Amino acid sequence: MAKEFDLSVKVGALELKNPLIAASGTFGYGSEFADFVDPSSYGAIAVKGLSLNPKEGNPMPRIVETSAGMLNAIGLENVGLRRFIEEKLDYLRTLDTKVIANFFGNTVEDYAAMASCLSEVEGIHALEMNISCPNVKAGGIAFGTDPLLAAEVVGAAKKAANLPLIVKLSPNVTDIKVLARAVEEAGADAISLINTITGMAVNLDRQTPALANVTGGLSGPAIKPVALRMTWEALSAVKIPVIGLGGIVTGEDALEFLCLGACAVQIGTANFIKPLSVLDILSEIEHYLTAKGIGRVTDFIGTFRIP
């Protein structure tokens, strides 16, 4: 009898039944997608970014379609830590998948408090900290664009955390390798990249910005080449596991990141284009690798070479 195809991967100590993780902010808290696709199809779900207190987000319009992508300026709207634990986690606990709590803050203390609190709750398997947020005490510079601030906030969160800590990097920097090294040295257990790329769109008829916030984050197929380049650079800079994302909509897109050496990938905007994407991507990975005579995903990870 033919051996079953092995999709399982490891992100450090975190074992996933398959390499696909729902990207934060694109799959809600899981339940929102349950009418369309079984959320347990994912190897893990990174939930919508959480803050200590609920956040309303930015005024509308806050989403606009672009060529091969979308711009969003949601402004990290979320139910806050308490309501997440009381109202959202019970459903997530019923799923046959790993739960990654994505979180953010505006001070080092916020991040440490979030990491500590989320580590104590049953049903969360790993933490993902989004460091693209402004540090209110350092004049609003984003934590993720300054290596010293990034190291400080990751160090504080790591000290407070009792779960694997993934640090999600912003692509809006000159040299991603410097940031990757800084968070590795500060104790990150893994890195995920990329978050959205800052962009804007113009409403020509009105001669106004298309987004009320003026600028927003670009995601979707348009950003895949940038995400691949940054994943490759991060992989060359650190020894900790790297999770790749940005513009993945097909199995072959996912395999490109895995081939570079990413230990897993995240699926974001593709969930909006087609909620069943996760199933298609999984079967495309299996078909592609089976045709190559490869029986498990891990054998393909890191096979990239420059001739």
- The Cα–Cα gap between 218 and 71 comes to 4
Please report whether residue 102 would count as binding ligand FMN according to CB under 6 A. yes
15 pairs with which residues across the strands? 10
Please report whether residue 171 would count as binding ligand FMN according to CB under 6 A. no
Radius of gyration of the chain (CA): 18
Cβ of residue 220: shortest distance to ligand FMN, in angstroms? 5
Q: Which C-beta is closer to ligand FMN: that of 130 or that of 145? A: 130
Contact window for ligand FMN (CB under 6 A) among 3-11, 150-158, 242-250, 292-300: 242-250
Cβ of residue 83: shortest distance to ligand FMN, in angstroms? 15
Please report whether residue 277 would count as binding ligand FMN according to CB under 6 A. no
- The Cα–Cα gap between 177 and 174 comes to 9
Cβ of residue 27: shortest distance to ligand FMN, in angstroms? 9
E strands, the chain, where?
Answer: 9-11, 14-16, 20-22, 44-46, 63-66, 69-72, 98-103, 126-130, 165-168, 190-193, 197-200, 202-203, 208-209, 215-219, 242-245, 264-267
What is the number of the residue whose Cβ is closest to ligand FMN? 25
* Cα 245 off chain centre by: 7
Cβ of residue 284: shortest distance to ligand FMN, in angstroms? 16
Q: Which C-beta is closer to ligand FMN: that of 18 or that of 269? A: 269
- The Cα–Cα gap between 290 and 63 comes to 39
Please report whether residue 223 would count as binding ligand FMN according to CB under 6 A. yes
Contacts to ligand FMN from residues 103-162, by CB under 6 A: 130
Contact window for ligand FMN (CB under 6 A) among 114-122, 236-244, 246-254, 283-291: 246-254
The set of catalytic residues is 133
Contact window for ligand FMN (CB under 6 A) among 2-10, 93-101, 215-223, 280-288: 215-223
Using the rule CB under 6 A, which residue among 33, 48, 84, 289 binds ligand FMN? 48
Residue with tokens 């993780």: 21
Query: Which DSSP string do the residues of 3-56 spell out, in sequence order?
Result: PPPB--EEETTEEESSSEEEPTTSSTTSGGGTTTS-GGGSSEEEPSPB-SS-B-
Cβ of residue 15: shortest distance to ligand FMN, in angstroms? 22
Using the rule CB under 6 A, which residue among 49, 155, 216, 251 binds ligand FMN? 49
Contact at 8 Å (CB) between 213 and 75?
Answer: yes
